[in-house]
Structure 1
Amino acid sequence: MASVRVFVARMAGLAVYGPDGERIGKVRDVVVSLRVDSHPPRVLGLVVDLSARRSIFVPMLRVADIAPTAVTLASGSVNLRSFDQRPNETLVLGQLLNSPATVREAGTEGSVVDVAVEPSRTRDWVITKVALRFRRTRLARRPRVEVYGWEAVSGLDVAAAQGADRLLAVFDSMRPADVAAALSRLPDDRQRHVVDALDDERLADVFEELSESDQRELLGYLDDDRAADVLEAMSPDDAADLLGELDDDEAGRLLELMEPDESEPVRRLLRYEWDTAGGLMTPEPITLGPDVTVAEALARVRNPEVPPALASMVFVVRPPTATPTGRYLGCVHAQQLLRAAPFELVAGMVDADLPQLGPEAGLGEVTRYFASYNLVAGPVVDAEDHLLGAVTVDDVLDHLLPQGWRDRDLAPGEVHGGTVRAANGAGDRTHDGEVHGA
């Protein structure tokens, strides 16, 4: 299909033909997924009214051509189930038109009268232009209409255009880092609505990705009991970083409200400076006794709750295996486990020669350690050979990046998670009730 720009309002009522030339129905609307930032949203597909007085969804992948008088579909399958709008979807004609929007540079507000869509270099269709109508002035007989690039207009992202309940449904399908980025751009009342609606585990995941200033502000909004619950659900190193930003009285009060077994590892981390291996480490790496089999070790590595960096290495210690452990024996890389027989013992493949980090090692020393040994995780061991925890490369990057880096928008193409998609893409609508060659 040629790279053309199409204004959506002109598509309403266009006849839709199959690849064999048979008329199927007519275009009723265009479905888009608004983003959580100012970058152009993706067009998911068309809502097509069939002659049988029901509407179906046609993915843009099935659209072969959009002409001034008709839309032609490519060969393939189309789901014939009635169209059911999902929470992360917006109808251009039914919901986006007449929405208020503001021109960023001028600060003038108008209402949307049309949007233009066109294929991108990746063959996805996106909204590229917005036509705004402004109020009539004394000097103009008719309201003024002007066309702007999508990035020049504000007020049409997910947060602004969708209700709070639908916004929460969209957040449910997003990565915590993307939810945190979107949450930081919401007005205060919207932020609090989202915080109130999220369960403690999900809110803890989002808190770990927020900037320090946003963490402090939202933690202050929570009552002490819920704040303690969220801190318990966070990883101990992230909870320690957050508590370290608070004054001593507030941090002490929250620690007292936490369950003792949850607060104890956090208290240990708070003994170290934030820019040392002891302050950077997580106290909950994968620790095993020497008599554990490879099969058992791989079962621990496969645990989906273990972050990828921590899953790259297991640490072998004498009992007790809970940190601070008994005597540290060495580590085993996940790749070694994959190459070994399931019945072998980890004691037979321990790397005892890999240097260890002391808890007082500074950030520079930790950075050189990772670069020297090509690691994504490393053991932190005290002077008595007790394993205290492990530092991971993401902990190091968090502290190497400039202060406030989480507050900065990523450039287009740097992350794809910010785009709210329908499930795993528009094609996911073609699993049930399909017909082929439509």
Structure 2
Amino acid sequence: MPAGAPRVFVSHLAGVPVFDPNGDQVGRVRDLVAMLRLGGRPPRLLGLVVEVVTRRRIFLPMTRVTSVESGQVITTGVVNMRRFQQRPTETLVLGELLDRTVRLVETDEQVTVLDVAMAQLPARRDWQIDKVFVRRGRSGALRRRGETLTVDWSAVTGFSLEEQGQGAENLLATFEQLRPADLANVLHHLSAKRRGEVAAALDDERLADVLEELPDDDQVEILGKLQEERAADVLEAMAPDDAADLLSELPEEDKERLLALMRPRDAADMRRLMSYEEGSAGGLMTPDPIVLRPDATVADALARVRNRDLTPALAAQVYVCRPPDETPTGRYLGLVHFQRLLREPPYTLVGSVVDTDLQPLRPEALLPGVTSYLATYNLVTAPVVDESGSLLGAVTVDDVLDHLLPPDWRERELYGMAAPTVSGGPPTVPGSRPAVRGGWPEVPDGR
């Protein structure tokens, strides 16, 4: 940003794409790194935390930023692909400063930080945080609660103090458009303290979706910080197989306590799934596939497939069973793929188009057998049926992949993937260094 240009509020940078001078996208901004200073001096901005296409988080020094404007950041084109590690003297602006309670120096009044603004120093590439956007609480009968104002950094104090129970409303607002997997990546890189505070601020459904995407250690840590009643509610909102996997990681007494707080049917599903061997079809399956009676119509089936709460894999096919049509008691007759449903008149009975030739999986089938089954028949979902012929559930390909990949796959980058080329990107910045094709070299970042 040239000298004299308007300052930038950092919440507007969350998720903003980062381009090299040739218009190739490097990644997206996930946070900013600052160094707090004594004596009320504005913090110096050290750089940006950028998430590249492989979901690795790297550090981009502010000295390599040539432009911040029009919803994009442009760099010199040379970045260090080493994974970002926060140092003890560094502060994450979005992750740690937003939602803090600080005090106005002049009145000693408590205020909440909604945002901070950064500006570039004249004739230099250095940036600093010079303004703070805060919200007042109730202080006096004539002052309306929620009044906001923008003050100089030196006009507030308390940023360096340890705060318990820090809110997360404004931090979450900056990431509200993220998919659960991406928000989980944000949480994973926060401190344990902030991770718990952010999790507490999420609603049950959103937290359930995010927990399903987190590593086991993070899941257990977050669940352990919730009130037991809320933890049970979140487990009920999770996919049953994911919830069962999480419960199996807990000590026996904690697991039983949470199961006792859950709805009886949900608790029964959890116990049933945990009774199967880990990595078997029974342990991998979800007990809630789409189940229809043979006298249901294609229109009925398509209405069930359109349920937005279903994953694409579960919506790929419906299972036909004799009454009662719920797992694990319905007698399995066969399945109908949704593509077949699209080819049939709406009034057609599903019992007349059911595929009875495909043999289902047994619950004791182990992971290699389940994988081969899906690959052989080109399926994304497979029925699991017991020896009496009752449908127990369905195994989806995403759950199989979770168990095929290394335990820490969510924390690893996907090697060999190149950054995508973004057509119509920003023009080349005069005087900037050329982008490096075919990857980014390791260069010193000055930290």
TM over 0.5: yes
Indicate which of 111, 128, 137 corresponds to 2:75: 128
Instruction: Report the Cα offset of residue 210 of structure 1.
Output: 0.8
1:301 aligns with 2:302: no
Alignment pair present for 1:251 and 2:197: no
SS of the counterpart of 1:329? strand
Give per-residue Cα distances to partners, 1:263-290, cap 9 Å, x unaligned: 1111111110121000000000000001
Match of 1:99, SS?
A: strand
How far apart in 1 are the matches of 2:62 and 2:368? 55
The answer to whether 1:99 aligns with 2:77 is no
The CA deviation string for residues 300-347 of structure 1, in whole angstroms up to 9 with x for no partner, is: 001110100010010000011110132111000000001111111111
1:345 aligns with 349
Query: Judging changes above 3 Å, is the alpha-carbon distance between structure 1 residues 127 and 150 closer, same or farther for their aligned structure 2 residues?
Result: farther
Corresponding residue SS for 1:240: helix
Are the counterparts in 2 of residues 317 and 325 from structure 1 also a CA contact under 8 Å? no
Aligned amino acid, residue 159 of structure 1: G
Q: CA–CA distance in 2 between the matches of 1:415 and 1:266? A: 41
Match of 1:199 among 194, 199, 203: 203
Query: Deviations 1:344-392 (Å, cap 9, x if unpaired)?
Result: 1111110000111000000010011011100000000001110000000
Match of 2:364 in 1: 360
1:159-192 Cα deviation digits (max 9, x unpaired): 3575543321123211111111110110122112
Aligned to 1:42: 17
How is 1:173-252 mapped onto 2 (pairs within 5 angstroms)? Answer: 173-252=177-256
- Structure 2, unmatched stretches of 5+, are 24-29, 35-41, 50-60, 100-167, 427-447
Give the equivalent residue in structure 1 for 2:386. 382
Q: Is the 8 A contact 2:14 2:31 kept in 1?
A: no
Task: Give the TM-score normalised by structure 1.
Answer: 0.65
Distance of aligned partners of 1:414 and 1:205 in 2 relative to their CA distance in 1, 3 Å threshold:
farther
Contact 1:318 1:325 in 2 (8 A): no
| Cα distance in 2 between the residues matched to 1:28 and 1:399 | 50
Normalising by structure 2, we get a TM-score of: 0.64
Of 66, 78, 88 in structure 2, the residue corresponding to residue 117 of structure 1 is 66
In the aligned structure 2, how far is the partner of 1:217 from the partner of 1:401?
A: 22
Which stretch of structure 1 is more off in the superposition, 247-256 or 396-405? 247-256
- 2:95 equivalent in structure 1: 159
CA RMSD of aligned residues (A): 3.7
Distance 1:266 1:152, change over 3 A: closer
1:157 and 1:381, CA in 2 relative to 1: closer, same or farther beyond 3 A? farther
Count, aligned residues: 321
Which residue does 1:139 correspond to in 2? none
Counterpart Cα distance in 2 of 1:411 and 1:175:
22
The alpha carbon displacement at 1:209 in A equals 0.8
Cα distance 1:296–1:223, how it changes in 2: closer, same or farther (>3 A)? same
Q: Is the 8 A contact 1:97 1:113 kept in 2?
A: no
The one-letter code sitting in structure 2 at the alignment partner of 1:277 is A
Identity of aligned residues (%): 52
Q: Which letter does structure 2 place at the counterpart of 1:179?
A: L
Contact 1:280 1:395 survives alignment (8 Å): yes
